[in-house]
Each structure stands twice: as C-alpha cells, then as structure tokens.
Amino acid sequence: MKIKSVQLGAYQTNCYLVIDESTNDAVIIDPGDDVNGLKHFLTSADVQLKAIFLTHGHMDHSLGMPYLVEQYNLPVYLKKEDEELMRENAFIFGYIPENCHIVNISDGDELNFGNLSFKVISTPGHSPGGVCFSSGKILFCGDTLFNSSFGRTDLPGGNYETLINSIINKLLCLDVDTVAYSGHGPYTTIGSEKTHYRF
C-alpha cells in the first residue's frame, strides 16, 4: 500500500490516494473542494481510481466528488446519516451527476478493492455520519481526530459528548502504533494521542 496526499481548498483539506502498488488501483478519500487542484493531483499520480470514500459530508471534504463521479464513474462510499448533508452541499455549490451511485456504509463493514482492504469505523460527533477507514495499522480519520486535537462540534449535527465518546471507544483503543491520517494538519499516532487526552 502506498499513500499520497494533497491539501486542497481554502480549508487545506487533506485528500488521500491509497494505492495498490501491484496493480496501480486506488481509492480516493475526501476529495476536497478544489477541482483544479484535484485534477492536477490525479494527473501527477497516474492511478486507476476505483472508489471515493467520504469520511463525512461537509463541503470542504466532498465538493470534489461530482467531478470524480462524472469523469470516472466511481461509486461513493458514505454513511447514510451524512448523505443528505453531502447532497445539500453539492446542490448549493454545484451539482450531483445523474450517474452518481451512493453506497451507504455501516460500522464494521469491510470494503475490498483488489489487494486494498478497509474497515469502516463509525465515529459520529463532528457530524452525524462521520466515519473512519482503517487498513491494518493505518487510519483515515477525517475530522474526528487531529494531531493533538479533534474536530469541531458547533456545526449543525455536531455533538461534543458524542465525538469524545467516539474517540475514546472507537479510536484510542486501537494499537498505539496505528498511524492516523487526519482531514486537516499533520498525521499522528494513536499512541501519541493517548498521551494528549485525559478524558
């Protein structure tokens, strides 16, 4: 597995490509809101895209999705609770292609694309349908967990207690050497975050 990343848009959202080096197949996680930047990133990466994963439906993570669906006809994996939020953002700021295929995911689902395998971890709190995607000791955690911090909860659908519960019961119990790739800012490890949080 190889991971490439780029920061996109005004909020510098981390967009990730997870690549199977044996086939060059890839999934893209949180394609941001800067289509021109996204196009450049994908051109330089030169991979075969298989799917779009959204950790949640906020616009700074999802507005690149319509371009990807229209250009590559990719399925979009998203938790049901954030689908309406994602659709509202797409309609306000652009469009959703007619061929958009939304795959609603649930906690514990296994997503397999060739040699790439991911487990869905439901982590509501930043948004109602927030999820993380884990693959071995790699975690893509969106805006649930940051390096020395966590996502805001003052947006519609956010809840502080729910987010803290998600972090404690779903993430901090992972192996300490799990590397967490966040939606904004640098990566961290679960071990490092355990030393920062004394809930």
- The total number of structural domains in the chain stands at 1
The CATH number given to whatever domain includes residue 159 is 3.60.15.10
The answer to whether 124 and 162 have CB atoms below 8 angstroms apart is: yes
Side-chain-facing half-sphere of 187: CA atoms under 13 Å: 16
Strand order across the beta sheet in which 188-189 lies:
110-113, 116-122, 131-135, 138-142, 179-182, 188-189
Residues 163, 151 contacting (CB under 8 angstroms): yes
The per-residue pLDDT string of the chain (199 residues; one tens digit each, 9 = 90 and over) reads 999 999 999 999 999 999 999 999 999 999 999 999 999 999 999 899 999 999 999 999 999 999 999 999 999 999 999 998 888 877 666 667 777 899 999 999 999 998 999 999 999 999 999 999 999 999 999 999 999 999 999 998 999 999 999 999 999 999 999 999 999 999 999 999 998 776 5
164 contact partners, CB below 8 Å, separation of at least 6: 125, 150, 199
Residue written as tokens 């938790």? 79
Does this model's pTM top 0.85? My answer is yes
pLDDT at 145: 97
Burial of 154 (0-12, 13-18, 19+ CB in 10 A): exposed
CB 92 within 8 A of CB 1: no
CA-based Rg of the chain, rounded to a whole angstrom? 16
- Secondary structure E strands in the chain: 2-8, 13-20, 25-29, 48-53, 75-79, 101-105, 110-113, 116-122, 131-135, 138-142, 145-146, 149-150, 179-182, 188-189
The reported pLDDT for the residue numbered 140 is 99
The pLDDT score that the predictor gives to residue 159 is: 98
Residue 38 belongs to what domain range?
2-196
Quote the longest CA-to-CA distance of the chain: 47
